[in-house]
Amino acid sequence: MFLCTQMGLGHEEGFGAPCLKCKEKCEGFELHYWRKICRNCKCGQEEHDIPSSNEEDRKVGKLFEDTKYTTLIEKLKNDPVYKRNVMILSSTVPAKKNITIDTVTYEWAPPVQNQALARQYMQMLPKEKQPVAGSEGAQYRKKQLAKQLPAHDQDPSKCHELSPSEVGHMEQFVKKYKREALGVGDVKLPADVEVRAPDENNLKNGGGRGTSSAVGTMEKSPNRKASQYSCYHCKLNMKEGDPAVYAERAGYDKLWHPACFICCTCGELLVDMIYFWKNGNLYCGRHYCDSERPRCAGCDELIFSNEYTLAEGQNWHLKHFCCFDCDCVLAGITYLTVNDKPVCKSCYMKNHAVICQGCHNAIDPEVQRVTYNNFNWHATQECFLCSCCSKCLIGQKFISVEGMLFCSVACKEKMMS
């Protein structure tokens, strides 16, 4: 637990973990009190190596509460905890003197009884995305859990100062997506699957919004070769003996290669095979919610208030359209954008403005300037002039050498000698 320096609020997130994205400029993770980013480096929490596996498991456990997936969670001290399936594979490795045991631990694996099937599934994922403990793939899974399933998309207590009305709207929204869209992929061999015929309700919704309790009756699948099954995403045929991923909400007449079970918006693997099904498409949690509600570009939370603002092509809570550097409210004042983030003019001049090579002062973005070879000058006779004889060079030919300007070869040689 640490204390937020601005608000005096306690936070559960760890402190002092270096940023994996910009180590050279981050002094350690310190949570901004409403932006969901690090106050020091401005990167998201997923970019910091914060040990929070228990927090992640609790988050997914809460997501599965009041759904058919409660079998994947267990209650510990009245706290819902996601019961991840961790897979440990051991194999003997011949050596000159002794036989050694090589052990590989997967931080997550499909919850299937057949370990060989789970192993096949893992091998069909890109190597860099296989969640082997301590690997790039494990870090990838950790980042995707944070990005695809933000806690503030399902739990009002993780949001910043919601009104009672907003809390009520959010709770109804969460119940709705649990009832209509949320699902977990099922890994099976296509030859072992019985096709579920969608019911009339599901057909009316384009197969996109039927609930798991209304999928329909089971029909025996006719004998088909694996080559006759094609992936819903890439349209390529399945190979004999390869496992496929099924999404119950889509119907068991659709299947995916393990590496094709991805969000239709961001193209990332659906973390732990958790999907949201809508209008014939698979979504991750974040992008499903984005398709249903506006999201504040300031705090990253979904907007449930009636009033909000649209600026720079993004949605904002009225109180969160603020300078990215100092947090002052930008309504009615001049601001600029830096890396798509709004910044007040004062912070822009202090932190982001280019420096004039002539007077060495920041250049106001509203005044004319000259830029050449990544060097900048005020477009005035006091700044844009010959470094030797001080002749004004506006509208004149010049020679540039490492930020110095010369009106002629003679001035250059005189200055450089």
Place of tokens 């990005």: 147
Beta-carbon contacts of 56 under 8 Å, excluding residues fewer than 6 positions away, are 82, 142, 145, 146
More confident residue, 13 or 158: 158
Question: So what's the pLDDT on residue 376?
Answer: 96
- The alpha carbon of residue 212 and the mean position of all alpha carbons in its chain are separated, in whole angstroms, by 27
Mean pLDDT of 69-89: 68
pLDDT in tens, 324-377: 999 999 988 999 999 889 999 999 999 999 999 999 999 999 999 999 999 999
pTM of the model: 0.78
Question: So what's the pLDDT on residue 4?
Answer: 36
In the predicted structure, residue 51 carries a pLDDT above the cut 70: no
Question: So what's the pLDDT on residue 83?
Answer: 73
For 357, the token pair is: 């090579």
Question: So what's the pLDDT on residue 219?
Answer: 41
pLDDT interval class at 205 (50, 70, 90): very low
pLDDT interval class at 46 (50, 70, 90): low
Mean pLDDT of 67-91: 70
Question: So what's the pLDDT on residue 82?
Answer: 67
Beta-carbon contacts of 137 under 8 Å, excluding residues fewer than 6 positions away, are 125, 127, 128, 129, 130, 131
Share of the chain above pLDDT 90, in %: 61
* CA angle at 205 for the pair 62 and 291, rounded to the nearest 5°: 55
Residue (of 270, 295, 28) closest to 145 by Cα position: 270
Question: So what's the pLDDT on residue 328?
Answer: 94
For 349, the token pair is: 């001049």
For 151, the token pair is: 């806690």
In the predicted structure, residue 9 carries a pLDDT above the cut 80: no
Question: So what's the pLDDT on residue 255?
Answer: 97
Amino acid at 343: V
Please tell me the class of the 367-416 domain: mainly beta
Question: So what's the pLDDT on residue 332?
Answer: 85
For 165, the token pair is: 């009305």
As a whole number of Å, the end-to-end CA separation of the chain is: 62
**CA 407/CA 387 separation, integer angstroms:** 8
What is the number of other CB atoms lying within 10 angstroms of the CB of residue 393?
21
Average pLDDT over the chain, rounded to an integer: 83
pLDDT interval class at 13 (50, 70, 90): very low
Instruction: Note whether 157 and 59 are within 8 A (CB).
Output: no
Mean pLDDT of 115-140: 95
Q: What secondary structure letter does DSSP report for 256? A: B
Question: So what's the pLDDT on residue 74?
Answer: 55
In the predicted structure, residue 100 carries a pLDDT above the cut 80: no
Place of tokens 């270096």: 18
Question: So what's the pLDDT on residue 235?
Answer: 96
Residue-range domain boundaries for the chain: 8-51, 56-194+229-302, 367-416
Long-range Cβ contact pairs of 47-54 (< 8 A, separation 24 or more): 47/19, 47/20, 47/21, 47/22, 47/143, 48/17, 48/18, 48/19, 48/20, 49/17, 49/18, 49/20, 50/13, 50/14, 50/17, 51/14, 52/13, 52/14, 54/81
In the predicted structure, residue 152 carries a pLDDT above the cut 60: yes
**CA 363/CA 378 separation, integer angstroms:** 7
**CA 410/CA 417 separation, integer angstroms:** 11
Question: So what's the pLDDT on residue 42?
Answer: 73
In the predicted structure, residue 2 carries a pLDDT above the cut 90: no
Cβ neighbourhood burial of 387 (10 Å; 0-12, 13-18, 19+)? buried
pLDDT interval class at 210 (50, 70, 90): very low
Per mean pLDDT, which range of 65-69, 270-274, 341-345 is the poorest? 65-69
In the predicted structure, residue 10 carries a pLDDT above the cut 50: no
